[in-house]
Amino acid sequence: MFQLTYKLIMITLICFSILFNINVQKEDHSEVYTILKAKDSLLFERSFNKCETQFLDQLIADDFEFYHDKSGVQESKEAFIKVMQNGICNPNNTTKSRRELVDGSLAVFPLKNNGQLYGALQNGTHKFFETTNGKEITGSVAKFSHLWILENGQWFLKRVISFDHQMQETPIAEDIEVSDVILDSYLGQYQAEDSGLIIISRTEKGLHINAEGMEADIYAKSQTLFTHQKAPLTFEFIVDSKGNTQKFIVREHSKIVEEAIKQ
């Protein structure tokens, strides 16, 4: 009888200990999740969407590294901030980008050393949108993995992997009508530094681009902005005060990658 009572007491204590540890882990995980979700908001809502890049200096570790599956590697904090300031957040950039976190995609995994919290892995999925001349269009959707390190009570973003970029599945906008006069003004030959000769011709619904290594139809998102339906590319035609087409600018993920001058 005594042995049975002893076993019941021990089983009860073990179960209580397990439940206590699980609850502590849940509370710990919940706290880290909340903290890093707030950091994500500063990183994207403020630094990316509103271009308040001063937050980047506060959030990013000095030995920061950024890995992107389309645009390569940034190997320092200074280089990454410079790219942001000269690209997406350049005041002369006529296209503005917006990032949106996919609801329910954010997950946080605490990292510990002998029970001591030292960092966390934050994974999620986000969507991007681009606005030109007041018209917002869908861009890419991608996954991200962020390594956050806890140093002296402060969280710093140490590594970023941005991957699986794909264009969002959206139908071609039917409400964008560009007159034949405007479409015809974009036709002709253009010369680009990297792509060489580029020819713009007409299609039933928009324009067709023929360049070295690429041939595709592009569709109007505004009177001057066209987009590739299967790649994260936009084409913005620049006209002078007299309505004459001067050039077009090619952007990939909001970053200027080519300018083609009309011949």
Nearest-angstrom CA–CA distance, 220 and 176: 6
- Overall average pLDDT of the 79-88 stretch: 89
pLDDT at position 12 over 60: no
Domain boundaries, the chain: 25-167, 180-262
The secondary structure of 64-125 as a DSSP string is EEEEETTTEEE-SHHHHHHHHHHTTT-TT-SEEEEEEEPTT--EEEEEEETTEEEEEEEEEE
Q: Return the C-alpha torsion angle 77, 79, 85, 89, nearest 10.
A: -80
Q: Which CATH number among 2.30.30, 2.40.128, 2.60.40, 2.160.20 corresponds to the domain 180-262? A: 2.40.128
pLDDT at position 111 over 50: yes
Tokens at 209, concatenated = 């681009």
Taking a C-beta distance cutoff of 8 angstroms, is the pair 39, 155 a contact? yes
Its CATH class, for the domain covering 25-167, is alpha beta
Nearest-angstrom CA–CA distance, 185 and 156: 50
Closest by Cα among 36, 21, 74 to 150: 36
pLDDT tens sequence across 198-250: 999 998 878 999 987 778 899 888 889 998 877 778 899 999 888 899 999 99
CA angle in degrees (0–180, nearest 5) for 101-251-201: 130
Nearest-angstrom CA–CA distance, 223 and 225: 6
pLDDT tens sequence across 170-179: 554 455 788 8
What is the pTM assigned to this prediction?
0.61
Tokens at 23, concatenated = 């609850």
